[in-house]
Amino acid sequence: MDMMLWNLILSGVIALVGWVLREKAAELGRITILVNRTREEIAKEYVTKADVHHDINRVIDRLDRLDNKIDVFIREQKSSNS
């Protein structure tokens, strides 16, 4: 009789632990899906370092050309005033 009671108690504890672990595994699966979706959304909103460097280099190149044009204009103005 004691052995049967012990088997029932152990079976109940193991069943409870199994149920909790199954619920945790399901929750972990849902969280994994949410993390993957979040990563996809973040990738849509943000740019990479290479893209930023490329865009900034384009702006700097245009500013350099504008600076050169202003220098030429100032030199022409000085030479025409002299």
pLDDT tens per residue, range 49-61: 999 999 999 999 9
pLDDT tens per residue, range 4-18: 888 999 999 999 999
Spell out the domain ranges in the chain: 12-81
Distances (CA, A) of 36 to 20, 31, 40: 24, 9, 6
Annotate 34-69 with DSSP letters as a single string.
Answer: HHHHHHHHHHHH---HHHHHHHHHHHHHHHHHHHHH
pTM beyond cutoff 0.75: no
